């Protein structure tokens, strides 16, 4: 969904709808939440035998067909000439995708990428957020009880949460792509919390003796590594990159849902609590002039960064 740095590959944007089967991904709570944050409608076909009179679910092979195409046309080169780095492997894969998208459409008179561009909406594509922001959305809930020392330990990694949560049963929101942790208790969310300790070091366990099957697999892998194709037979692959992604169609900027209230205060009361915590005194002790300035700032915006910047400038 993110913008690419290659001019010949403009494929990007958040889709309006995803059509999929009733597999474990479609039923995943995390997947449904992330799609809701991004504004994507998820549609699943009717399960098999739901109607009773007709076939309601049948594999069409629309997803498996491209997998087979890539495997037959491109993966073979990886076995004959193994890439030295992941960057080289991804570069060769991108070169194949550029070649594949320039091929003729199976029904239309133009290429595949031209068909995608012609079927875009008039108001343009929906821009995708950056990777760090996406990591905040992808979180999996888990019910746990906080220790009496206000710490939670998982797989050797310790997190220290708010002292008021000690001994309480809370919902942990684990990041699938980052190490930050959010805690939810009675409809209030706290965090993010970073690990305070180091995980158990790798290779600190006893190694087991290899079986005959594993030894035979190692010999086969060693023989397969000797079968290679020289780089001169494939040629050097160099992709032309541009400084900025040139898009010939309009783009709608990403609207951040802010599910964990990291960017904006929920209301003026929450903002006043944060201001009082920053000033280390209740707002009732402020003068009439100072309180009027605080009210004026909160009437202008509730964005956390802007509010706290204006508060710091005013009181200092």
142 falls within a domain: yes
Closest CA to 254 of 130, 122, 120: 130
78 falls within a domain: no
Q: Is the pLDDT of residue 146 over 60?
A: yes
For residue 36, name the pLDDT band (cuts at 50, 70, 90). very high
- Structural domain including 274 reads 268-315
CA atoms within 13 A on the CB side of 23: 6
**pLDDT, mean over the chain:** 83
- Note the pLDDT tens digit of each residue in 203-259: 555 566 788 888 899 999 888 878 777 777 766 666 666 555 556 778 888 888 888
147 falls within a domain: yes
300 falls within a domain: yes
Query: Which residues have a Cβ under 8 Å from the Cβ of 72 and sit 6 or more positions away?
Result: none
Strand (E) or helix (H) holding 154: strand 151-154
178 falls within a domain: yes
| Domain-terminating residue out of 193, 219, 237 | 193
Q: Is the pLDDT of residue 140 over 60?
A: yes
**Cis ω before 282 (30° cut-off from 0):** no
What does the block give as tokens for 1?
Answer: 């969904």
- pLDDT at position 113: 86
Closest CA to 176 of 127, 142, 130: 142
- pLDDT at position 202: 60
Total of domains in the chain: 2
Average the pLDDT over 52-75 and give the result: 75
In whole angstroms, how far apart are CA 24 and each of 29, 65, 134? 10, 21, 21
- pLDDT at position 310: 92
3-class DSSP state of 153:
strand
| Domain-terminating residue out of 193, 209, 235 | 193
Is the pTM value of this prediction over 0.85?
no
């Amino acid at each position: 969904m993110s913008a690419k740095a290659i001019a010949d590959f403009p494929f990007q944007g958040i889709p309006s709808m995803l059509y999929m089967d009733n597999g474990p991904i479609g039923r995943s709570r995390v997947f449904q939440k992330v799609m809701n944050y991004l504004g994507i409608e998820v549609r699943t076909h009717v399960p098999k035998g739901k109607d009773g009179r007709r076939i309601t679910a049948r594999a069409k092979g629309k997803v498996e067909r491209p997998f087979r195409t890539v495997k037959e046309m491109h993966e073979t080169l990886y076995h004959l000439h193994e890439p030295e780095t992941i960057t080289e492997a991804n570069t060769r894969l991108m070169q194949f995708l550029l070649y594949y998208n320039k091929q003729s459409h199976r029904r239309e008179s133009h290429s595949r990428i031209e068909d995608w561009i012609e079927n875009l909406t008039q108001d343009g594509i929906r821009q995708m957020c950056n990777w760090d922001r996406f990591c905040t959305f992808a979180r999996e809930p888990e019910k746990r009880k906080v220790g009496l020392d206000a710490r939670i330990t998982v797989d050797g990694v310790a997190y220290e949460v708010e002292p008021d949560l000690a001994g309480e049963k809370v919902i942990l929101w684990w990041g699938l792509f980052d190490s930050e942790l959010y805690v939810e208790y009675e409809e209030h969310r706290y965090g993010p919390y970073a690990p305070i300790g180091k995980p158990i070091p790798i290779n600190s366990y006893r190694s087991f003796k290899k079986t005959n099957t594993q030894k035979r697999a190692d010999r086969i892998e060693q023989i397969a590594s000797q079968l290679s194709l020289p780089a001169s037979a494939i040629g050097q692959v160099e992709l032309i990159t541009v400084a900025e992604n040139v898009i010939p169609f309009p783009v709608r900027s990403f609207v951040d849902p802010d599910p964990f209230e990291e960017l904006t205060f929920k209301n003026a009361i929450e903002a006043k609590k944060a201001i009082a915590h920053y000033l280390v005194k209740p707002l009732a002790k402020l003068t009439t002039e100072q309180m009027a300035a605080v009210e004026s700032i909160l009437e202008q915006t509730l964005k956390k960064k802007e509010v706290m910047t204006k508060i710091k400038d005013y009181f200092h």
